[in-house]
Amino acid sequence: MKTVLWISRHVMTAAQLADLERVMGEPVRLLPWRDTVYSLAPLTPMLAECDAVAAVLPPELLRELLRIAGRKPVLRAFSERRPTGRTSVLPDGRQEPEFAFVHQGWEQILRLEITVRRL
């Protein structure tokens, strides 16, 4: 059994877990971190317990995660947005089409380079 650190405020879906087990080649035990991540320092001890990391993080934190994860794979799920045909009403009264996020697969982040210019 492989252990995967799951960094997301959301519970992993059944489709994501089944596909993650396919990717990892065996059953997976999730180590969930559901709090908002402002710093990776609290997660560092958990990295020692896992075989891989699956994360939903902004690019600058993903870049840092790649650095501290060492040789452990850093993964992220990708999804397709499918219209549900329903409309959501926002708190300010505006309406917008509703979408469902449908799991499409996992990808391993190999390198993340960000070039910015402050405005």
Within a domain: 114:
no
| CA count, 13 A, side-chain hemisphere, 23 | 22
Residue 82's Cβ-count burial label (10 Å; 0-12, 13-18, 19+) is exposed
Structure tokens at 12: 């992993």
Return the CATH number at 18.
3.40.50
Within a domain: 115:
no
Within a domain: 117:
no
Q: Which domain holds residue 65?
A: 2-108
Q: Per-residue pLDDT for the chain (119 aa), expressed as one digit of tens each?
A: 999 999 999 999 999 999 999 999 999 999 999 999 999 999 999 999 999 999 999 999 999 999 999 999 999 999 999 998 999 898 999 999 998 889 999 999 999 888 889 99
DSSP calls for 42-80: GGHHHHTT-SEEEE---HHHHHHHHHHHTTS-EEEEEEE
pLDDT of the residue at 61: 94
Run of H or E including 18:
helix 14-24
Within a domain: 81:
yes
Looking at the structure of the chain, the number of domains it has is 1
Within a domain: 99:
yes
Within a domain: 8:
yes
Distance CA 8, CA 36 (A): 8
pTM above 0.95, yes or no: no
Within a domain: 46:
yes
Within a domain: 85:
yes
